[in-house]
């Protein structure tokens, strides 16, 4: 039975300070870890408020299992950091965390899960995490209660184990105290009110604290704490079961503690608990708990177990760990914990708010809490985390991520916790949240859709709606040939793609040019022109790869990653001068892009503008009319062809689409989707935001330093100057592959050692080659360099390309 501890400096007599640098609301493992890290890194004047005892949310009844595996490599890194941290906080606080580093395995009972684990192993290789494959017999040797006949292999990880969740939370809090921070129990935050100077008054029954920053670490009450500020956080507590068995004699007699494990197909996790086993499972049909809100009087209570809900999983477990069928169940635990829409935490500075931070939806707090604390402290104190934490950034969701949508997606995510999601898989729940005016039209054309930042967009086009299906998997699937057809049309004639899902940011006002010159590393164009520019952080890391357009002395637009739009809004709003007006206008401008040699002929039929090669040159832009509707017309292309982007207000999109289709009918026009675009940009050697370009890399590492205007001051300039000769570089590779391509995160090897990793890749249809991009040491980045890439456990030869395979001089684009 999980135990509740009592804090030593509970509510008691101690007076609440009137001011703090930061106030953390919530004393679960996440809040306590942030308290520890802030104090350790210098913000000693930080206070944590807990409405009850510490660990009064989900933290006290966690199963306490810890591991490094995560879908995102940087989250894996932070999980490794979290696990390594436990010794430090135990020593510093003198409070036991009850750590057992038993090691653990991930069991593969079929080829698909074996393939998945091979991918994980490949990631671990370049991350320097210690994982190795062991045979089913070795599994049984290390854990004699497991029947090895169900397995074909297992991935062993030394860094797996378990701990006492309550002890770990207290150790964080007490270690924070050692560093000078304070925490107050039985002190609920009842109201959060922002003062005009941006600081916050946090009201409690024991008085009010004024703080420069506040952090919502409300866990089960994250939604309620957010609502104090009108913030609707799309997280959802989910019921979760685990069982504790009676004593198992073989365990009592064993000389060592048994390792812990996860069996994906059976959907169970297990570990030793005292002389028995703890066995947990993620139900096939998840049960959202308290959809309308978590009651404030919910305390250290558990929920009524529903063993029928997990009966199918138990059958698997009894088969694979037969002793489970022989011993009694000592206790069945059903407790709620909070999930986010994609299963990853939601952390960071909340876009649109000042000095309001959150660290919520942390569903594996004992694996991730340390890393979340580290990241939050770096972000709050230094202005940016030391690694790219996009996978956890609260800004990856926008206002479309409503509470209802959050419940649907968080439930889906809970149910899929141990269910395979393939790299090319589209998830079914929460779809059609946002659609454009031509959604049905594209479906009728055979579009296979996915969702990005809440908006549906086409991946590829089949021969009609009935034909628009594909089997997810690691290998190429039936979409391959359809994508080839789209690429062929765009390269030979003309292709059209919907571009509603790109972000558009508008800047107006007398100070707009000077402001953009300061935040963008590249050239800000003159009226009627666009330029490409990186945007850097103070530390010289990439924070954007943007197209900037000028429409007048005081009017500019930035075009960039759709998924980054809230993160960019947050960035732009930080120190926006009074003489600049900024708006995220992404939803005001939908549109189409034309690519291919016949795109000029299509456009010429639809506009009175002179769009001849001389009349509208590469990187020209203007506000004009196409197909009789007002548009922003830009001559630019991500496909490497002669191309145009045509943005219009959403209400004109259907009209524009009909006209483009009509004009293109005799010119070989074909619709294409995101996969064809990604294929075409690969053979041009162009990186993509979120994959090849991310805050993990500098402009020089990513090869974007050529776009920098060194003759001006801009954010990140001194770091960029210092990093002109980077130790690693982004390269484009060709690979010798049949029937499969890289997706991302595969290890790149040289002479048997992991030297880098794949950031993106796929099949380049026009040149007929499998290609990839990835970061390798600079000395291995020259054209012709031979390397290897690990895909599903096999090594394949790869060669660094010195120039784009398609139109290396960019003549087509400029034609």
Ligand X SMILES: Cc1cc2nc3c(=O)[nH]c(=O)nc-3n(C[C@H](O)[C@H](O)[C@H](O)COP(=O)(O)OP(=O)(O)OC[C@H]3O[C@@H](n4cnc5c(N)ncnc54)[C@H](O)[C@@H]3O)c2cc1C
- When asked if residue 435 is in the footprint of ligand X (CB under 6 A), the reply is no
- When asked if residue 28 is in the footprint of ligand X (CB under 6 A), the reply is yes
Q: Which is nearer to ligand X, 337 or 697 (CB)?
A: 337
C-alpha to C-alpha distance for 759 and 670, rounded to whole angstroms = 29
Only segment of 63-71, 659-667, 722-730, 736-744 that touches ligand X (CB under 6 A): 63-71
Task: Rule CB under 6 A: choose which of 7, 46, 65, 501 binds ligand X.
Answer: 65
Binding residues for ligand X restricted to 759-778, rule: CB under 6 A: none
- When asked if residue 346 is in the footprint of ligand X (CB under 6 A), the reply is no
- When asked if residue 209 is in the footprint of ligand X (CB under 6 A), the reply is no
- When asked if residue 27 is in the footprint of ligand X (CB under 6 A), the reply is yes
The residue to which tokens 């604390």 are assigned: 373
Smallest separation (angstroms) from ligand X to the CB of 471: 33
C-alpha to C-alpha distance for 167 and 62, rounded to whole angstroms = 11
Q: Which is nearer to ligand X, 30 or 154 (CB)?
A: 30
Q: Which is nearer to ligand X, 34 or 490 (CB)?
A: 34
The binding track of 40-59 with respect to ligand X, each residue x by CB under 6 A or -, is: ---------xxxx--xxxxx
* Cβ neighbours for 289, distance < 8 A, ≥ 6 positions apart: 236, 237, 238, 239, 303, 336
Q: Which is nearer to ligand X, 160 or 741 (CB)?
A: 160
Only segment of 219-227, 250-258, 532-540, 585-593 that touches ligand X (CB under 6 A): 219-227
- When asked if residue 259 is in the footprint of ligand X (CB under 6 A), the reply is no
C-alpha to C-alpha distance for 806 and 680, rounded to whole angstroms = 9
The residue to which tokens 């524009």 are assigned: 656
Only segment of 212-220, 587-595, 688-696, 750-758 that touches ligand X (CB under 6 A): 212-220
C-alpha to C-alpha distance for 754 and 131, rounded to whole angstroms = 14
Q: Which is nearer to ligand X, 31 or 385 (CB)?
A: 31
Beta bridge partners of 334: 241
Q: Which is nearer to ligand X, 245 or 584 (CB)?
A: 245
Q: Which is nearer to ligand X, 50 or 692 (CB)?
A: 50
Contact 637, 619 (CB under 8 A): no
- When asked if residue 394 is in the footprint of ligand X (CB under 6 A), the reply is no
Task: Rule CB under 6 A: choose which of 80, 136, 335, 340 binds ligand X.
Answer: 335
C-alpha to C-alpha distance for 127 and 446, rounded to whole angstroms = 40
Q: Which is nearer to ligand X, 372 or 669 (CB)?
A: 372
Only segment of 4-12, 23-31, 91-99, 524-532 that touches ligand X (CB under 6 A): 23-31
User: Each residue of 216-250: b (16+ CB within 10 Å) or e?
Assistant: bbbbbbbbebbebbebebbbbbbbbbbbbbeebee
| Contacts within 8 Å (CB) and 24+ apart, 120-125 | 120/69, 120/155, 121/155, 121/793, 122/745, 122/746, 122/747, 122/790, 122/791, 122/793, 123/73, 123/76, 123/745, 123/746, 123/747, 123/757, 124/68, 124/76, 124/157, 125/747, 125/749, 125/754, 125/790
Smallest separation (angstroms) from ligand X to the CB of 226: 10
Q: Is 527 helix (H, G, I), strand (E, B) or coil?
A: coil
Smallest separation (angstroms) from ligand X to the CB of 20: 14
Task: Rule CB under 6 A: choose which of 20, 23, 25, 447 binds ligand X.
Answer: 25
Task: Rule CB under 6 A: choose which of 220, 358, 602, 742 binds ligand X.
Answer: 220
* Cβ neighbours for 425, distance < 8 A, ≥ 6 positions apart: 472
- When asked if residue 536 is in the footprint of ligand X (CB under 6 A), the reply is no
Only segment of 25-33, 437-445, 482-490, 787-795 that touches ligand X (CB under 6 A): 25-33
Smallest separation (angstroms) from ligand X to the CB of 310: 12
- When asked if residue 371 is in the footprint of ligand X (CB under 6 A), the reply is no
Strand ordering across the sheet containing 555-560: 530-536, 542-552, 555-560, 503-508, 581-584
Q: Which is nearer to ligand X, 169 or 598 (CB)?
A: 169
Smallest separation (angstroms) from ligand X to the CB of 315: 21
Residue in 145, 125, 149 with CA at minimum distance from that of residue 136: 149
Task: Rule CB under 6 A: choose which of 221, 390, 582, 806 binds ligand X.
Answer: 221
C-alpha to C-alpha distance for 697 and 536, rounded to whole angstroms = 10
- When asked if residue 403 is in the footprint of ligand X (CB under 6 A), the reply is no
Smallest separation (angstroms) from ligand X to the CB of 290: 12
Only segment of 335-343, 388-396, 417-425, 516-524 that touches ligand X (CB under 6 A): 335-343
Smallest separation (angstroms) from ligand X to the CB of 85: 13
- When asked if residue 687 is in the footprint of ligand X (CB under 6 A), the reply is no
The residue to which tokens 């030593």 are assigned: 8
- When asked if residue 337 is in the footprint of ligand X (CB under 6 A), the reply is yes
C-alpha to C-alpha distance for 56 and 203, rounded to whole angstroms = 20
Q: Which is nearer to ligand X, 189 or 656 (CB)?
A: 189
Smallest separation (angstroms) from ligand X to the CB of 579: 40
The residue to which tokens 């030391």 are assigned: 386
Only segment of 364-372, 462-470, 520-528, 605-613 that touches ligand X (CB under 6 A): 364-372
Alpha helices in 614-706 (DSSP H): 653-664, 674-683, 699-702
Residue in 372, 295, 279 with CA at minimum distance from that of residue 32: 372
Contact 679, 765 (CB under 8 A): yes
Smallest separation (angstroms) from ligand X to the CB of 162: 7
Contact 813, 804 (CB under 8 A): no
> Residue 258: how many CB atoms within 10 A of its CB?
22
C-alpha to C-alpha distance for 334 and 627, rounded to whole angstroms = 60
Task: Rule CB under 6 A: choose which of 242, 264, 270, 686 binds ligand X.
Answer: 242
Radius of gyration of the chain from its Cα atoms, rounded to whole angstroms: 27
Please provide the DSSP assignment of 258-322 as one string. PPEEEETTTTEEEEEETTEEEEEE--SS--B--TT---TT--S--PPP-GGGGHHHHHHHHHHSG
Task: Rule CB under 6 A: choose which of 366, 461, 638, 652 binds ligand X.
Answer: 366
Beta bridge partners of 261: 105, 270
- When asked if residue 219 is in the footprint of ligand X (CB under 6 A), the reply is yes
Task: Rule CB under 6 A: choose which of 34, 38, 39, 63 binds ligand X.
Answer: 63
Task: Rule CB under 6 A: choose which of 97, 175, 364, 494 binds ligand X.
Answer: 364
Only segment of 363-371, 456-464, 473-481, 510-518 that touches ligand X (CB under 6 A): 363-371
Binding residues for ligand X restricted to 130-189, rule: CB under 6 A: 188-189
Length of the chain: 815
- When asked if residue 370 is in the footprint of ligand X (CB under 6 A), the reply is no
How many binding residues for ligand X (CB under 6 A)? Answer: 41
Task: Rule CB under 6 A: choose which of 73, 161, 218, 643 binds ligand X.
Answer: 218
Only segment of 19-27, 117-125, 573-581, 709-717 that touches ligand X (CB under 6 A): 19-27
Contact 365, 58 (CB under 8 A): yes
> Residue 87: how many CB atoms within 10 A of its CB?
12
- When asked if residue 64 is in the footprint of ligand X (CB under 6 A), the reply is yes
Smallest separation (angstroms) from ligand X to the CB of 288: 13
Only segment of 20-28, 522-530, 626-634, 650-658 that touches ligand X (CB under 6 A): 20-28
* Numbers of helices and strands, H then E, in the chain: 19, 37
Residues engaged in binding ligand X (CB under 6 A): 25-31, 49-52, 55-59, 61-65, 188-189, 217-221, 225, 240, 242, 333, 335-337, 362-367
């Amino acid at each position: 039975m999980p135990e509740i501890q009592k804090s030593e400096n509970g509510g008691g007599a101690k007076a609440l300070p009137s001011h703090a640098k930061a106030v953390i609301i919530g004393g679960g493992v996440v809040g306590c870890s942030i308290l520890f890290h802030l104090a350790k890194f210098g913000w000693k004047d930080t206070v944590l408020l807990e409405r009850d005892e510490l660990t009064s949310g989900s933290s006290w009844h966690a199963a306490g299992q810890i591991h490094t595996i995560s879908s995102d490599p940087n989250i894996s890194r932070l999980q490794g950091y979290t696990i390594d941290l436990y010794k430090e906080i135990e020593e510093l606080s003198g409070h036991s965390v009850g750590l057992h580093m038993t090691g653990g395995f991930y069991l593969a009972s079929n080829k698909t899960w074996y393939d998945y684990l091979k991918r994980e192993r490949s990631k671990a290789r370049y991350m320097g995490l210690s994982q190795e494959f062991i045979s089913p017999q070795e599994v049984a040797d290390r854990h004699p209660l497991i029947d090895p006949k169900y397995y074909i292999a297992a991935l062993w990880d030394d860094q797996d184990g378990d701990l006492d969740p309550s002890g770990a939370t207290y150790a964080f809090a007490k270690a924070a105290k050692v560093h000078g921070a304070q925490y107050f129990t039985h002190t609920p935050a009842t109201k959060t009110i922002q003062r005009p100077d941006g600081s916050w008054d946090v009201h409690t029954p024991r008085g009010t604290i004024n703080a420069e920053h506040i952090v919502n670490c409300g866990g089960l009450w994250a939604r309620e704490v957010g609502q104090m500020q009108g913030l609707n956080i799309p997280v959802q507590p989910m019921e979760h079961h685990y069982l504790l068995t009676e004593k198992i004699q073989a365990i009592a007699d064993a000389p060592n503690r048994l390792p812990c494990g996860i069996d994906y197909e059976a959907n169970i996790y297990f570990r030793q608990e005292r002389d028995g086993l703890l066995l947990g499972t993620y139900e096939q049909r998840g049960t959202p708990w308290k959809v309308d809100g978590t009651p404030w009087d919910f305390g250290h209570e558990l929920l009524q177990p529903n063993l029928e809900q997990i009966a199918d999983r138990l059958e698997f477990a009894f088969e694979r760990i037969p002793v489970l069928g022989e011993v009694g169940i000592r206790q069945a635990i059903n407790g709620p914990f909070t999930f986010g829409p994609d299963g990853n935490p939601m952390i960071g500075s909340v876009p649109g708010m000042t000095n309001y931070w959150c660290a919520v939806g942390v569903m594996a707090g004992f694996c991730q809490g340390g890393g979340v604390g580290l990241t939050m402290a770096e972000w709050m104190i230094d202005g940016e985390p030391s690694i790219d934490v996009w996978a956890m950034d609260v800004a990856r969701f926008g206002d479309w991520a409503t509470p209802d949508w959050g419940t649907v997606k968080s439930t889906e995510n809970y149910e899929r916790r141990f269910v395979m999601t393939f790299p090319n898989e589209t998830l079914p729940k929460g779809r059609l949240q946002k659609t454009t005016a031509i959604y049905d039209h594209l479906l009728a054309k055979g579009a296979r859709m996915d969702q990005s930042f809440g908006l549906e967009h086409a991946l590829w086009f089949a021969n009609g709606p009935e034909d628009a299906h594909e089997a997810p998997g690691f290998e190429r699937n039936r979409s391959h040939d359809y994508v080839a057809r789209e690429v062929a049309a765009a390269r030979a004639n003309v292709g059209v793609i919907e571009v509603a899902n790109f972000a558009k940011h508008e800047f107006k006002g007398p100070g707009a040019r000077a402001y953009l010159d300061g935040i963008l590393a590249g050239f800000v164009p003159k009226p009627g022109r666009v330029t490409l520019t990186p945007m850097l952080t103070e530390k010289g890391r990439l924070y954007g790869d943007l197209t900037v357009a000028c429409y007048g002395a005081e009017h500019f637009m930035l075009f960039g990653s759709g998924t980054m739009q809230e993160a960019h809004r947050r960035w732009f709003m930080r120190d926006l001068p009074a003489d600049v007006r900024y708006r995220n206008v992404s939803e005001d401008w939908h549109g189409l892009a034309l690519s291919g040699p016949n795109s000029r002929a299509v456009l010429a039929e639809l506009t009175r503008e002179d769009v001849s090669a001389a009349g509208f040159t590469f990187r020209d832009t203007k506000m004009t009319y196409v197909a009789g509707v007002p548009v922003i017309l830009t001559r630019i292309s991500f496909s490497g062809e002669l191309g145009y982007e045509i943005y219009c207000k959403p209400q004109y999109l259907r009209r524009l689409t009909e006209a483009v289709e009509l004009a293109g009918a005799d010119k070989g026009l074909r619709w294409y989707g995101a996969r064809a675009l990604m294929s075409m940009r690969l053979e041009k050697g162009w990186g993509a935001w979120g994959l090849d370009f991310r805050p993990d890399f500098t402009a020089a590492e990513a090869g974007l330093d050529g776009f920098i205007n060194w003759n001006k001051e801009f954010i990140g300039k001194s770091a960029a100057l210092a990093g002109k000769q980077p130790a690693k570089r982004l390269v484009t590779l060709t690979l010798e592959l049949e029937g499969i391509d890289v997706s991302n995160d595969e290890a790149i090897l040289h002479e048997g050692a992991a030297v880098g990793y794949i950031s993106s890749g796929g099949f380049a249809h026009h040149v007929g080659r499998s290609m990839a991009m990835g970061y390798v040491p600079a000395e291995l980045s020259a054209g012709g360099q031979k390397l290897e890439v690990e895909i599903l456990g096999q090594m394949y030869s790869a060669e660094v390309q010195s120039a784009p395979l398609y139109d290396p001089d960019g003549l087509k684009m400029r034609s």
